[in-house]
Each structure stands twice: as structure tokens, then as C-alpha cells.
Amino acid sequence: MGLTRQIEALLFLSPDPVTADALAEATDAEPEEVQQTLAALRDGYDAEERGLVLRELAGGWVLSSHPEADEAARRLLSRPRTPPLSAAQAETLAIVAYLQPVSRPEIARIRGVNAESATQTLLERGVIEEAGRSQFGATLYRSTDLFLALFGLRSLEDLPDPSAFDPSPEVAAELKERLLAAGDARLPDSDAPTP
């Protein structure tokens, strides 16, 4: 069996992204040859307009269905979708992604509200995981490879640059209102401004 077929078969069998080094070791091939074969496979899938795509995600390579087949696949498989992230979960996940490793008390401080429920849900979904303890004993959290795969990222360096965030006036006003409300909620009664 040729190298292309071997690599394609290994990628088909693996539920997780596979590194080029692991493929080279499994096929007894040189890493450069594996990289060339992966590039040729990816280009072949694209050129032939196939139902599969070869993607580089979470530090490895994975075969997946073409995004255009998503709706048809959902109808065929008739599986309920995982519910979308709530606003609290999305905020918590963003904080973990950008500041990791980060503790739950720090997440709560940044959000201005308790982060326990959102953190627990993200742990259950497998997009964050425990990453040790802080100097104060709080559990630290970081994102997982599943997070990278779900968001189509090769690594954390692919996260959007937050300094490039340019919200619409409506979004900016909503963010300002939420931040002011969170700040007011944290003020002790004695320090609260008087009307």
C-alpha cells in the first residue's frame, strides 16, 4: 500500500487530530515525505470538490466532512445539536482562552458575577480543563484541543487579536452599560455615590 493510502486510512481511523510525526512513525516514512503527502491530499480534496476536507487543527491533521454538507448531514443523522453556549459560558470561555491558565475567582472578578455554573458546563463539554493550582490554591483552567478543533484553530496563536475588536456603537453601548453595572455591584455601600 502506498504512503498516500496509508495516511488517508490512518486519518480516517483516528477520531482526534494526528501529528505529522505520529503519521511518519506509524508509516515508517520520513517526516518531510509525510508533510508533502498531507499537502497533496489536502490539495486533492479541494481540487476534486470532494465531500471530505483535510484540515490542520489542534497541532495535528484530521479528515472531516466538507462544511457545505453540514445541513444534509444533520438531517441524515437526526441527532440533536449541542445547545449553543450561553452568554455567560461564551464570556467565561473567552476569558480562559485569552488569559489561561486562569482561576475561577479571577474569571468571576473579570465578569463581575459568579462563574461556577459556566465553568462547570465548559468542563463537562470538554472545551476547558483543569491546569493545576494557583499560588492561593484555586484551581486553574486552560482550553483543550477540543476547543481548538471546534473553533477551527491550529493553536492559540490563531485567536483573534482583541486589540482589533471594533464593536458597533450599539455593542459598545451595551458593553459599557454592563461594565458600569458590574462596577456598581462591586462598590461597598459606604462608597456608593450619593445622588
Quick check: helix, strand or coil at residue 153? coil
- Identify the pLDDT of residue 110: 87
Angle between helical axes of 116-125 and 104-111 (0-180°, round to 10) = 120
Q: What kind and span of H or E run contains 130?
A: strand 128-133
Are the C-beta atoms of 126 and 146 separated by less than 8 Å?
yes
CATH no. of 89-189: 1.10.10.10
Please, which residues have CB within 8 angstroms of residue 5's CB and are 6 or more apart in sequence?
Answer: none
- Identify the pLDDT of residue 59: 86
Q: What kind and span of H or E run contains 32?
A: helix 31-47
Domain with CATH 1.10.10.10 in the chain: 3-74, 89-189
CATH no. of 3-74: 1.10.10.10
Q: How many angstroms separate the CA atoms of 114 and 108, rounded?
A: 5
All three cell numbers of 75, joined, read: 438531517
How sure is the predictor about 190, in pLDDT bands with cuts at 50, 70 and 90? Answer: very low
Model confidence over 111-158: pLDDT tens digits? 888 889 999 999 999 999 999 998 889 999 999 999 998 888 889 998
